[in-house]
A and B are shown apart, each in its own frame.
Chain A
Amino acid sequence: MAVFKGFPLNLLFASILLILLLCIQSGGGQKKKENMLAEKVEQMMEWSSRRSVIRMNGDKFRRFVKAPPRNYSVIVMFTALQPQRQCSVCRQANEEYQVLANSWRYSSAFSNKLFFTVVDYDEGADVFQQLNMNSAPTFMHFPAKGKPKRADTFDLQRIGFASEQLAKWIADRTDVQIRVFRPPNYSGTIALALLVSLVGGLLYLRRNNLEFIYNKTGWAMAALCVVFAMTSGQMWNHIRGPPYAHKNPQNGQVSYIHGSSQAQFVAESHIILLLNAAITMGMVLLNEAATSKGDVGKRRIICLVGLGLVVFFFSFLLSIFRSKYHGYPYSFLIK
């Protein structure tokens, strides 16, 4: 009886207990969630203190980037850095990305609100499939709340992957301003110092015989080298980085001369350099032939060779120019 009597009470108790338990459980869930989050943040902080860019595989990616309890933004670079993938763009992009991540890592504003991670195709191919991604490198931003939107994928094609552009994009998406700090490039300085010390050492070793400094031919050669390099557009090559030559994919023909007057190939600039040098040499030979002393027959030959160099290579140069500059009416000897 008492049992029956007690039932409602029991029920009440049990229900209270249940509610309490639920409360506790949910409270515990909340707590557990917080714990999990704190643990995750701590883990991420630890990794990023070791390396500014955190390497991720599929599991880590799902746990730390995809899984919901998160209060931090994650920038992910999907890439393929393994040498067998032969992705040179990935390597360049990676360098810029490292610069950016280091700037963030060592900046005064560094916090646990933003992490830089990388997923390599060979370590997390499943992630690529999951996100339906078929090109690398790709930069994505996973915001602290919600799903990534269209603008959370960095527009690599149009903006390029310079650190400054990435920083601007990140500032736009997360309100975290990163001032890109590029480590100064010492390689140029070191090379220069090496060269200087080499030259200095050489001079020191040969200090008793410094005749060669007064050698005008050497200086003249050096000056001409600078001039030829510039007039054949090596500086253009250096700044624009054109291909060496163009191979037509249909018939496999290799063209060394660019068809337009606005651009040039590396091979083309080398050809022009040689032509210019040949014409100059022709002029010098013509002069030599007239001023040098010696056998007349020999001098006549030198003279004719010089003349031939000037005339032939100039007409060759003119014909190349003509093929590039459409509508140019003049030619000489060679069409």
Chain B
Amino acid sequence: MAEHHTASDCKHKASSNAGGSVSGNGRHSSPAGCGGSGGGLSGGLTQPAGWQSLLSFTILFLAWLAGFSSRLFAVIRFESIIHEFDPWFNYRSTHHLSTNGFYEFLNWFDERAWYPLGRIVGGTVYPGLMVTAGLIHYILNLLHVTVHIRDVCVFLAPVFSGLTAVSTFLLTRELWNQGAGLLAACFIAIVPGYISRSVAGSFDNEGIAIFALQFTYYLWVKSVKTGSVFWTIGCCLSYFYMVSAWGGYVFIINLIPLHVFVLLLMQRFSRRLYIAYSTFYIVGLVLSMQIPFVGFQPIRTSEHMAAAGVFALLQAYAFLQYLKDRLTRQEFQTLFFLGVSLAAGVVFLTVIYLTYTGEYAKIHIPIIASVSEHQPTTWVSFFFDLHILVCTFPAGLWFCIKNINDERVFVALYAISAVYFAGVMVRLMLTLTPVVCMLSAIAFSSVFEHYLGDDMKRENPPAEDSSDEDDKRNQGNLYDKAGKVRKHVSEQDRPEEGLGPNIKSIVTMLMLMLLMMFAVHCTWVTSNAYSSPSVVLASYNHDGSRNILDDFREAYYWLRQNTDEHARVMSWWDYGYQIAGMANRTTLVDNNTWNNSHIALVGKAMSSNESAAYEIMKSLDVDYVLIIFGGVIGYSGDDINKFLWMVRIAEGEHPKDIRESDYFTPQGEFRVDKAGSPTLLNCLMYKMSYYRFGEMQLDFRTPPGFDRTRNAEIGNKDIRLKHLEEAFTSEHWLVRIYRVKKQENRQALDHKLRNIAAKQKYTSKKVLPSRFH
């Protein structure tokens, strides 16, 4: 099934690629435009515009289809299921939204999470994703298309990837030309850097946020180009959607001011820019503050200050321009110097203030502060996620800077900032991917433009070029319209000698081959690296047949069916969302790690000995404890491997009770076998993981109690639990659930009861009139 799918997918891709590049040639040179697109088309084209839009539409549709279908590996191999951890919370909230309505969702206080604290969900999430899915579900039901909300959630990201492709097409068309736009749409539809966050079932903010990001940028470029309030309001609404969807909106609110600032530096100030940015800043600010989770941050925190600063600067600049027209040269110069020195003084004082109030950058810019906590990116991940695009997009950047204009300044800044952030943090590869697709498309498109057409057609100007020829003549105030055809004087003088059909076809063939390899690579990566749901595991036998390990869901459904509705389940925070989503039981901690001390308390319970842990569990009202144990099947992401983190977090809050060094051997090793430290061998997590494991012989070659994950025979085989009892262990022992015993009744006294003389009880029979109605 998968194989067949791969093949068909490649075919889609290849065809759409070829089509995209062809029509890249298409738009500008009017009669010859659609020339290369196969013999049939070039003959009797009377209305090239019609053909062209049909072709574009078809290519975009195919790109959408290819993008959608290449995200379905997980659904085809397993089933329509929500993946991983965070999506489970999003799914649960969406479910709440669709059953209880929008206002109930906004005011939702979730008492099933963070027991006994609870969580105010409405005010601590970006609601865009849930509202989008809920709205789609609502509309479909209105049309009597009965779909479960889960299916809407599963397929939301693949559908939105198509919208991303369309908005990338629109943006690239504004930046370069239509051909590059189509190529960019094809790239972004299948590039692994984006697929990694948008496969079917990965119901996460990023899936819709990249669409919002690209669309906002498109509308911004459009409004800078036209200077119309209409486009700017559109941009603000799109920005509002982005703010409601993802915390990455900070990228937009810094990149757009940066664009404006650089344009000012380049003396490209214009009325259009003034209108666009002033409107965007004010309306966008007001809209972004409507999201409860964002609240007053846009006027408080430093990430948003750049936007405010540029707004003030733009007003000042416009005011100066106005004065320049009104005053004499002498007056203006005095005023200018006064203004500049005043501004410099203010900036200087601010800088001094900021340096004295602490290390500004370290504390206030989270993206820099968190560098050490996140993985930086190796070149392999760049290549893995972008393949040929990573080597060719600098060429696109080169062309853009060489033919600069207002909006190409934007894409250059976008590329440089995004590549920096992606280098710092591997997670931010996601924001780099769209710009890489656009610039690569520009590079490939310009190559195809020159090599795909016939030599005869070179008499026509080869490229519509909207760059301004030189900056000095331009002086910033004038703006040459995009779409102006540059005069190629020399080419019009004499017909150019072409490179010859042989070279052209060789170049075209090899380029197409590279693109084909890209398509194949994308499919392979998507299929192998980004399509496992991680809720359901699969293992392969020697003969290639597949085993499905469905232990997680087995255990969660056991919890759902066999425990009290209000039972409280303690587990490490990784599994909080899944327990809440699949088992519908109260959890103590979950993936929204807002309360470190609560997490530390759970960590302390896991790393203490059983009786100390029992005290903690009693105080937290724990009914069940759930752990993940991979020793039987060799699953490396289990709780024993995460155990040191529990110890460390517990130590951070309770340094007197938990010490990390106690869990190591004197040689400083973390071992679960006989040489392991006695504290480890007697802590609750160890006992729960290996309870009765010593009786189990997995293999004839290994002794009983052999842990396959850590390749060691466990050190404590005789585990007795006093306060806990085993309630459930899944088929492959992956999930183990223990019941916390209720406190025993007080022991019967073995001596004779005291004889107390029966005393007469005096109780008042009188009832107070006030309480008796």
Q: What residues make up the interface of A, taking CB atoms closer than 8 Å to B?
A: 151, 155, 157-158, 172, 184, 214, 216-217, 219-220, 223-224, 226-236, 238-240, 261-264, 268-269, 272, 275-277, 279-280, 283-284, 286-287, 289-291, 293, 296, 299-300, 303-304, 307, 310-311, 313-314, 317-318, 321, 324-325, 328-330, 332
- Please name all residues of chain A whose beta carbon is closer than 8 Å to the beta carbon of B543 when the two chains form the complex: none
Q: In B363-377, which residues have CB < 8 Å from any A CB?
A: 371-372, 376-377
CB distance from A111 to the nearest CB of B (A): 23
CB distance from B401 to the nearest CB of A (A): 4
Q: Is the CB of A219 within 8 A of B392?
A: no
Binds A, one of B31-39, B118-126, B207-215, B416-424: B416-424
CB distance from B529 to the nearest CB of A (A): 10
- Please name all residues of chain A whose beta carbon is closer than 8 Å to the beta carbon of B423 when the two chains form the complex: 229-231, 233-236
A28 to B384, CA, bound (A): 81
CB distance from B188 to the nearest CB of A (A): 18
Q: Is the CB of B395 within 8 A of A283?
A: yes
Asked whether B485 is an interface residue with its Cβ less than 8 Å from the other chain, the reply is no
Q: Is the CB of A290 within 8 A of B451?
A: yes
Which of A217, A231, A272, A291 gathers most chain B CB within 10 Å? A231
Q: Is the CB of B517 within 8 A of A332?
A: yes
A224 to B388, CA, bound (A): 16
Q: Is the CB of A286 within 8 A of B507?
A: yes
Residue of B nearest to A214 (CB): B471
Q: Is the CB of B391 within 8 A of A279?
A: yes
A62 to B631, CA, bound (A): 52
A279 to B398, CA, bound (A): 13
CB distance from A73 to the nearest CB of B (A): 19
CB distance from A177 to the nearest CB of B (A): 12
Asked whether B698 is an interface residue with its Cβ less than 8 Å from the other chain, the reply is no
- 0 or 1 for each of B165-195: is its CB under 8 Å from A? (1 = yes): 0000000000000000000000000000000
- Please name all residues of chain B whose beta carbon is closer than 8 Å to the beta carbon of A238 when the two chains form the complex: 376
Those 8 A-B pairs whose CB atoms lie nearest each other, nearest first: A290-B450, A230-B423, A283-B395, A235-B423, A220-B401, A279-B391, A233-B379, A280-B394
A279 to B388, CA, bound (A): 9
- Please name all residues of chain B whose beta carbon is closer than 8 Å to the beta carbon of A157 when the two chains form the complex: 668
A286 to B398, CA, bound (A): 13
- Our pick among A184, A234, A317 for the contact of B391 (Cβ within 8 Å) is A317
Given known contacts A240-B376, A291-B463, what 11 new A-B pairs fall within 8 Å (CB)? A226-B420, A231-B382, A234-B423, A236-B379, A238-B376, A277-B394, A283-B447, A290-B450, A310-B514, A311-B510, A328-B524
A158 to B443, CA, bound (A): 50
Asked whether B768 is an interface residue with its Cβ less than 8 Å from the other chain, the reply is no
Q: Is the CB of A293 within 8 A of B391?
A: no
- Please name all residues of chain A whose beta carbon is closer than 8 Å to the beta carbon of B393 when the two chains form the complex: 227
Q: Is the CB of B391 within 8 A of A314?
A: yes
Q: Is the CB of A300 within 8 A of B378?
A: no
Known: A219-B401, A227-B397, A310-B514. A290 touches B419 (CB 8 A): no
Q: Is the CB of B380 within 8 A of A307?
A: no
A235 to B379, CA, bound (A): 10
Known: A227-B419, A276-B391, A314-B514. A325 touches B424 (CB 8 A): no
A293 to B451, CA, bound (A): 15
Q: Is the CB of B415 within 8 A of A227?
A: yes
- Our pick among B377, B443, B499 for the contact of A233 (Cβ within 8 Å) is B377
Q: Is the CB of A231 within 8 A of B419?
A: yes
Q: Is the CB of B507 within 8 A of A158?
A: no
Q: Is the CB of A231 within 8 A of B379?
A: yes
9 contacts between A and B (CB under 8 A): A155-B661, A172-B655, A223-B416, A231-B382, A261-B378, A279-B392, A280-B394, A287-B450, A321-B383
- Please name all residues of chain B whose beta carbon is closer than 8 Å to the beta carbon of A228 when the two chains form the complex: 394
Q: Is the CB of B398 within 8 A of A280?
A: yes
- Please name all residues of chain A whose beta carbon is closer than 8 Å to the beta carbon of B402 when the two chains form the complex: 216-217, 220
- Our pick among B378, B382, B443 for the contact of A262 (Cβ within 8 Å) is B378
Q: Is the CB of B450 within 8 A of A291?
A: yes
A284 to B513, CA, bound (A): 18
CB distance from B183 to the nearest CB of A (A): 14
Q: Is the CB of B517 within 8 A of A231?
A: no
- Please name all residues of chain A whose beta carbon is closer than 8 Å to the beta carbon of B506 when the two chains form the complex: 307
Asked whether B691 is an interface residue with its Cβ less than 8 Å from the other chain, the reply is no
Residue of B nearest to A318 (CB): B517
Known: A158-B668, A303-B499, A330-B524. A216 touches B404 (CB 8 A): yes
- Please name all residues of chain A whose beta carbon is closer than 8 Å to the beta carbon of B769 when the two chains form the complex: none
Q: In B396-418, which residues have CB < 8 Å from any A CB?
A: 397-399, 401-402, 404, 412, 415-416
A230 to B421, CA, bound (A): 9
A329 to B443, CA, bound (A): 27
A232 to B378, CA, bound (A): 7
- Please name all residues of chain B whose beta carbon is closer than 8 Å to the beta carbon of A216 when the two chains form the complex: 401-402, 404
Q: Is the CB of A272 within 8 A of B377?
A: no
Q: Is the CB of B490 within 8 A of A293?
A: yes
Q: Is the CB of A293 within 8 A of B416?
A: no
Asked whether B446 is an interface residue with its Cβ less than 8 Å from the other chain, the reply is yes
A330 to B496, CA, bound (A): 40
Asked whether B520 is an interface residue with its Cβ less than 8 Å from the other chain, the reply is yes
A279 to B507, CA, bound (A): 14
A268 to B424, CA, bound (A): 18
Known: A261-B378, A279-B392. A227 touches B416 (CB 8 A): yes
Known: A158-B664, A330-B517. A275 touches B503 (CB 8 A): no
Known: A220-B397, A293-B490. A287 touches B446 (CB 8 A): yes
CB distance from A4 to the nearest CB of B (A): 72
Asked whether B462 is an interface residue with its Cβ less than 8 Å from the other chain, the reply is yes
Asked whether B497 is an interface residue with its Cβ less than 8 Å from the other chain, the reply is yes
Residue of B nearest to A239 (CB): B376
Q: Is the CB of B499 within 8 A of A299?
A: yes
Residue of A nearest to B661 (CB): A155
CB distance from A172 to the nearest CB of B (A): 7
Q: Is the CB of A300 within 8 A of B472?
A: no
Asked whether B500 is an interface residue with its Cβ less than 8 Å from the other chain, the reply is yes
A286 to B447, CA, bound (A): 7
- Our pick among A214, A223, A229, A318 for the contact of B397 (Cβ within 8 Å) is A223
A151 to B491, CA, bound (A): 83
Asked whether B482 is an interface residue with its Cβ less than 8 Å from the other chain, the reply is no
Residue of A nearest to B403 (CB): A216
- Please name all residues of chain B whose beta carbon is closer than 8 Å to the beta carbon of A239 when the two chains form the complex: 371-372, 376
Q: In B87-117, which residues have CB < 8 Å from any A CB?
A: none
Q: Is the CB of B380 within 8 A of A264?
A: yes
- Please name all residues of chain B whose beta carbon is closer than 8 Å to the beta carbon of A151 when the two chains form the complex: 661
A184 to B356, CA, bound (A): 11
Q: Is the CB of B377 within 8 A of A235?
A: yes
Residue of B nearest to A230 (CB): B423
- Please name all residues of chain A whose beta carbon is closer than 8 Å to the beta carbon of B497 when the two chains form the complex: 296
Known: A231-B382, A231-B390. A284 touches B395 (CB 8 A): yes
Residue of A nearest to B374 (CB): A239
Residue of A nearest to B449 (CB): A290
Asked whether B359 is an interface residue with its Cβ less than 8 Å from the other chain, the reply is yes
CB distance from A247 to the nearest CB of B (A): 21
A220 to B397, CA, bound (A): 8
Q: Is the CB of A303 within 8 A of B377?
A: no
- Please name all residues of chain A whose beta carbon is closer than 8 Å to the beta carbon of B394 when the two chains form the complex: 224, 227-228, 276-277, 280
Q: Is the CB of A300 within 8 A of B380?
A: no
CB distance from B389 to the nearest CB of A (A): 10
Q: Is the CB of A236 within 8 A of B378?
A: yes
Q: Is the CB of B378 within 8 A of A325?
A: no
Known: A217-B402, A233-B423. A314 touches B499 (CB 8 A): no
A272 to B380, CA, bound (A): 10
Q: Is the CB of B514 within 8 A of A224?
A: no
Q: Is the CB of B371 within 8 A of A276?
A: no
- Please name all residues of chain A whose beta carbon is closer than 8 Å to the beta carbon of B521 when the two chains form the complex: 330
A157 to B391, CA, bound (A): 41
- Please name all residues of chain B whose beta carbon is closer than 8 Å to the beta carbon of A158 when the two chains form the complex: 661, 664, 668
A240 to B379, CA, bound (A): 14
A183 to B179, CA, bound (A): 56
Q: In B633-671, which residues have CB < 8 Å from any A CB?
A: 655, 661, 664, 668
- Please name all residues of chain A whose beta carbon is closer than 8 Å to the beta carbon of B513 when the two chains form the complex: 332
